[in-house]
């Protein structure tokens, strides 16, 4: 439970930083900590690790639904926000893990033990989270890797309003309906090890994410 407690502390700290002026309440269901935001203003960037959002995004909700392409990976930090997409989950994971994870034919990340993918809070693997197009960890994947526990970004091309389930590393994940972690929209804190369904209020709505 220590890891979960640490996640909660991190999530709270990050959200306080993100929206100093918003108020929030917590409820917990089946391992998923759901925090509902009330109206609030977007705070200015507050952390040293704040990256540059993907180009082409606005401070208000993105318009238009797009279909997630294949299996994508993003480092979450760095100039240019490199996003790579592959035909197979195996190739995506191989690149995101710098060759450490080699899926056998027919395997998915979910075939592997949790710690083989994510490591532990004291020995992280570098894989931070895997977002899925469908509930129950199905469909296209977006793997977030490297950058530590305090990173965020807008969804890359094709991933706006797509995510339905999340497999989370020890840091946890927060999804936001609006780009740029704008808390005036819906958002959800997801603790490790994630959730097979982000819930009706966030399903196919995430436009930005943060770790945690
Ligand atoms: Ca959205």
Distance 100 CA to ligand 1 centre (A): 33
Distance 32 CA to ligand 1 centre (A): 20
Residues 6+ apart with CB under 8 A from 173: 128, 129, 131, 144, 166, 189, 190, 194, 209, 210, 211, 212
Domains and CATH numbers, the chain: 2-39+49-211 (2.60.20.10)
pTM: 0.76
Distance 120 CA to ligand 1 centre (A): 30
DSSP state of 180: G
Distance 184 CA to ligand 1 centre (A): 11
Both tokens assigned to 122 = 């004291």
Distance separating alpha carbons of residues 206 and 125, to the nearest angstrom: 25
The pLDDT tens digits along the chain (212 residues) read 455 566 666 667 666 766 653 443 333 333 344 444 333 333 333 333 344 344 333 334 544 445 667 999 998 654 455 789 999 999 999 999 999 999 999 999 999 999 999 999 999 999 999 999 999 999 999 999 987 888 899 999 899 999 999 999 999 999 999 999 999 999 999 999 999 999 999 999 999 999 99
Nearest to 22, CA basis, from 181, 161, 175, 152:
181
Distance 210 CA to ligand 1 centre (A): 14
> What is the DSSP pairing of strand 138-145 with strand 71-74?
parallel
Dihedral of alpha carbons 193, 28, 200, 75, sign:
negative
């Amino acid at each position: 439970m220590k890891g979960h407690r640490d996640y909660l502390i991190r999530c709270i700290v990050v959200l306080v930083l993100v929206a100093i002026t918003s108020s929030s309440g917590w409820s917990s269901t089946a391992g998923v900590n759901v925090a509902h935001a009330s109206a609030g203003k977007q705070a200015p960037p507050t952390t040293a690790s704040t990256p540059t959002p993907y180009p082409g995004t606005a401070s208000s909700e993105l318009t238009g639904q797009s279909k997630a392409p294949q299996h994508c990976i993003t480092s979450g930090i760095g100039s240019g926000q490199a996003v790579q997409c592959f035909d197979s989950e195996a190739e995506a994971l191989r690149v995101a893990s710098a060759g450490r994870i080699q899926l056998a034919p027919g395997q998915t990340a979910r075939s592997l033990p949790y710690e083989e993918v994510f490591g532990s809070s004291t020995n992280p693997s570098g894989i931070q989270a895997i977002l899925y197009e469908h509930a129950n960890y199905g469909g296209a994947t977006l793997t977030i890797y490297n950058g530590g526990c305090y990173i965020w970004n807008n969804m890359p091309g094709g991933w706006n309003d797509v995510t339905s389930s999340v497999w989370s590393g020890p840091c946890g994940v927060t999804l936001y309906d609006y780009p740029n972690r704008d808390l005036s929209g819906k958002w959800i804190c997801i603790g490790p090890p994630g959730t097979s369904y982000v819930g009706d209020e966030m399903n196919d709505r995430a436009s930005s994410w943060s770790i945690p």
